[in-house]
Amino acid sequence: MLGGSISSGILRCFPSIKVIGYAHRQSTRVKAAELAIASEIVDSLTDSVRKSDIIILATPISIFKDIFEQISPALPTGCVVTDVGSTKVMPHCWAQAKLPNTVHYVGSHPIAGAEFRGVDFARDDLLDKAVCILTTTKKTDPQAIEVLEKLWTRLGCSVRLMSPAEHDKIFANVSHLPHITAASLVNATNGGQINFAGKGFLDTTRVASSPANIWTDVLMSNSKNIADGLDRIIKELQKFKEATQNGNKKQIEKLLDKARNKRAGLIEYKIKQKEII
Amino acid sequence: MLGGSISSGILRCFPSIKVIGYAHRQSTRVKAAELAIASEIVDSLTDSVRKSDIIILATPISIFKDIFEQISPALPTGCVVTDVGSTKVMPHCWAQAKLPNTVHYVGSHPIAGAEFRGVDFARDDLLDKAVCILTTTKKTDPQAIEVLEKLWTRLGCSVRLMSPAEHDKIFANVSHLPHITAASLVNATNGGQINFAGKGFLDTTRVASSPANIWTDVLMSNSKNIADGLDRIIKELQKFKEATQNGNKKQIEKLLDKARNKRAGLIEYKIKQKEII
């Protein structure tokens, strides 16, 4: 879904750029070709990178390392390699270990997506008004950063730079943790009850419908930050439990009010940044 | 918001029925009159019920008891009293204790709403395709149930009957708990990080923007079920923490897959029931 959306977005925004697509499954390649998601769909991973200036990985994170290893011999000198994975520390490590030093790696994380899976759901405007984080280290090539800044900006993103470690800490809280609470909410509700769910439950748990394999990799590759975040959220839940059990009305209202005000500030920020309307 | 929506829905669906509106705040009454939310807005609580066949309370739960007490002397014999609060055990207790036995109480819980507050957000189609729970006991008058079944059905709801205790147990899980996890997610995220939130975080925390006073009352009046639900959800979160810390990929994927499949079943049910499109 994300790979296909980026590819069709590039075709729309950069009419002179050619996009070579590759997917592991043959059925995906056939569908992508039918949908004309890319300029060309090839049947070999190494062939897909052989003549490319920019290589974008949009697979589950756990196979980045293998892909880096497999594509290395075929990578053109000076090309830019990036990925759109939701964690960044591990991809930077693998890039450092596996990619030749004749190419430039920068991490990308466009904050866009949906709970849907597969090339059928690709849309060429998915990145419109999205934020895209680029992760860099002291060693990152400034020109490679510039190339990716131009790419993501033209696709509609506003680009921010940070270190991989900072990225993973922030997104444990604002992205990975919500996925875990959503899944936990669903798993904690028994079958007979769940059908009474209203719009609140459906929204609160939407991201629990995201592909399990992709999110398993995200959680696996950010375990320390996630464990810390889970401790914090369990602490917050326990505050509610204590206040409710003690009939402490003031404390319950204080906790709810704090969240309400904080979220109002967030919405205000998003509107000011034109990230939401 | 909910009271005004019900009132304007009744005006639309039952053109011959007169709706008398009352609100505690004068400013709300002025606004409601300007918006023509009801046939008539009166300035006294007791006047609002004096000639009514059906009385619908749409205030925070904690003041139901006082309202029952105040309106009791003015209630016409044989009238039906209901409320739209999100918990039902306590309202039934208060009705039993405070209402005269010349009137009939039935609990109502239309599963509709939004995080917005106030009569400005009233809309006459809010209840379209909603589920409305009626809570009854052995003593509940069958004719009063029938009257309310007709009312909510005509407003677009599909009506289900259950006991107050069963209601509160179910809605602790599918409604009250999501409000707590949403607020806890927001409260657990620090200010510098929260602005990086994407669509997932925004959806997962939407209900945290709900009015704090209304939800304080809901949580206060359902404390036992909520404490039990919080225990269950904390247990689920701890499963994720353990699996993540141990790098147990199989277990993480199992937990995510379970939630994904369960939610897929929920969506399928909702579509079949035509509650969502």
Q: Which residue of A has its CA nearest to B204?
A: A204
Residues of A with CB below 8 A from B232's CB? 188
Alpha-carbon span A235 to A255, nearest angstrom: 12
pLDDT band for position A190 (cuts 50, 70, 90): confident
Interface of B with A in 198-257 (CB under 8 A): 198-213, 215-216, 219-220, 223, 226-227, 229-241, 244-245, 247, 249, 252-253, 255-257
Comparing CB atoms, the residue among B114, B175, B252 nearest residue A220 is B252
Q: Please give the CATH topology (third level) of the domain spanning A2-162.
A: Rossmann fold (3.40.50)
Chain A CB within 8 Å of residue B20 CB? no
Alpha-carbon span B35 to B47, nearest angstrom: 21
ipTM entry: 0.90
Q: Which residue of A has its CA nearest to B270?
A: A195
Q: Which residue of A has its CA nearest to B258?
A: A187
**pLDDT tens-place string over residues A16-41:** 999 999 999 999 999 999 999 999 99
CATH of domain A168-272: 1.10.3660.10
Alpha-carbon span B226 to A242, nearest angstrom: 11
Residues of B with CB below 8 A from A194's CB? 173-174, 262, 265-266
Comparing CB atoms, the residue among B178, B187, B257 nearest residue A255 is B187
pLDDT band for position B64 (cuts 50, 70, 90): very high
CA-to-CA separations, A54 to A49, A251, B256, in angstroms, rounded: 8, 53, 33
0.80 exceeded by the pTM? yes
- Mean predicted confidence (pLDDT) in A267-277: 86
Question: What confidence score (pLDDT) does residue B277 get?
Answer: 67
Alpha-carbon span A66 to B151, nearest angstrom: 63
Alpha-carbon span B243 to B232, nearest angstrom: 17
Q: Per-residue b/e over A135-165, b at no fewer than 16 CB within 10 Å? A: bbeeebeeebbebbbebbeebbbebeebbbe
Q: Please provide the average confidence, as pLDDT, over all residues in chain B.
A: 95
Inter-chain touch A189–B174, beta carbons under 8 Å: yes
Q: Which residue of A has its CA nearest to B268?
A: A195
Chain A CB within 8 Å of residue B264 CB? yes
**pLDDT tens-place string over residues A194-218:** 999 999 999 999 999 999 999 999 9
**Sequence spans of domains, chain B:** 2-162, 168-272
